[in-house]
Amino acid sequence: MGDLMSLLPPLLQGLQVTLKVTGGAILLAVPLAILAGLLRLSTWRLARWPAIAYIEIFRGTSALVQLFWVYYVLPLFGITFPAITAGIIVLGLNSGAYGAEVVRGAVQGVARGQREAAIALNLTPLHTLRRIVLPQAVAAMLPPAGNLFIELLKNTALVSLITIADLTFRAQLLRADTLRTLEIFGLVLVLYFAVALCITGAVRWLERRLARRRGERA
């Protein structure tokens, strides 16, 4: 056990970087998903088509290729990002594109009668969206959003390929030094799983809180 615990410090250092990349990417992905998902539903072409292009490009191409483009190709055009910033940008954009479809589906899932009632009450479209549609849609968004956050966490392993010393990168270095492949990657699995459980717990807590608030309003 003592030998096993000696492997933890460098892995925990890598986990801190993984959590930083995950958190930064989530902070970028959430507003992007909401904005692109709503614009995707717009009747105004100048708003809808850029949203469609963003969603389809980032969903239809490899996250790894996107990462290499931002980190290795953009500098050829004079646009350079630090490695960790490039990782956050790419993972945030990638997850935001998938999240936009979650937002679109949840908004479309709100009963048409709710909108018709809002029109009858002379509510503006923005007021209807903010006070009636989004509060109901958020509850439907949370479970798939939790899945996307966990997928984002797992995709952070890609950033090890652009020299970021995340959990996977640290594990590879440690394995090269000690050749203790089974113990090292066993610990890595446990650490990823523990973080995924935390994300799942946080999403379920939000679901319960929203359900209680809806119950109180009812």
Q: Given this model, what pLDDT does residue 145 score?
A: 93
Q: Given this model, what pLDDT does residue 11 score?
A: 93
Mean pLDDT across the chain: 89
pLDDT tens sequence across 185-197: 999 999 999 999 9
Helix (H, G, I), strand (E, B), or coil: what is residue 7?
coil
Q: Report the distance separating Cα 50 and Cα 44, nearest Å.
A: 11
- Which residue type sits at 110? V
Contact present, 51 and 40 (Cβ < 8 Å): yes
Would you say residue 62 has pLDDT above 70?
yes
Can you tell me the mean pLDDT for 36-64?
92
Q: What is the 8-class DSSP label of residue 70?
A: I
Global pTM value: 0.89
The count of structural domains within the chain is 1
Range of the domain at 28: 2-217
Report residue 209 as tokens: 């809180």
CATH number, residue 111: 1.10.3720.10
Residue 27's pLDDT band (cuts 50, 70, 90): very high
Contact present, 150 and 59 (Cβ < 8 Å): no
Contact present, 161 and 81 (Cβ < 8 Å): no
Report residue 39 as tokens: 């614009």
Percent of the chain with pLDDT over 70: 91
Would you say residue 56 has pLDDT above 70?
yes
Q: Given this model, what pLDDT does residue 6 score?
A: 82
**DSSP of 153-203, one letter per residue?**
HHHGGGGGGGT---HHHHHHHHHHHH--HHHHHHHHHHHHHHHHHHHHHHH
pLDDT tens sequence across 158-167: 999 998 999 9
Would you say residue 127 has pLDDT above 90?
no
Report residue 128 as tokens: 């209807």
Nearest-10 crossing angle of helices 83-108, 45-60 = 120
